[in-house]
Amino acid sequence: MEEMGKYIGAGLATIGLAGAGIGVGQIFAAYLAGALRNPSAADGQFARLIFGFAVTEALGIFSLLVALLLLFAV
């Protein structure tokens, strides 16, 4: 029963990876749409794009870490 709980918890923790993938897609889609509308402002928004990508990807990595901790450390 305890083993089953670990696997269910790890599976639920990996939902954050799907959320991170969707978030990264949304960030790049919004940047591309904005850059196509106003190409001269695209360079000024690139730093915000990279920051948003890094934060979103970090949340995905944290959820993977939680899943691995549930599987192997508990």
pLDDT in tens, 21-35: 999 999 999 999 999
So what's the pLDDT on residue 73? 87
Indicate which CATH number applies to the domain containing 26: 1.20.20.10
Per DSSP, 34 falls in state: H
Please state, in angstroms and rounded to a whole number, the distance separating the CA atoms of residues 34 and 71.
42
Q: For residue range 57-74, list pLDDT tens digits in order.
A: 999 999 999 999 989 987
* Domain limits for position 40: 2-72
**HSE toward the beta carbon, residue 1, CA cutoff 13 A:** 0
Number of domains forming the structure of the chain: 1
Alpha helices in 1-74 (DSSP H): 2-13, 15-37, 42-72
So what's the pLDDT on residue 51? 93
What the block records as the tokens of 34 is 């904005």
Percent of the chain with pLDDT over 70: 100
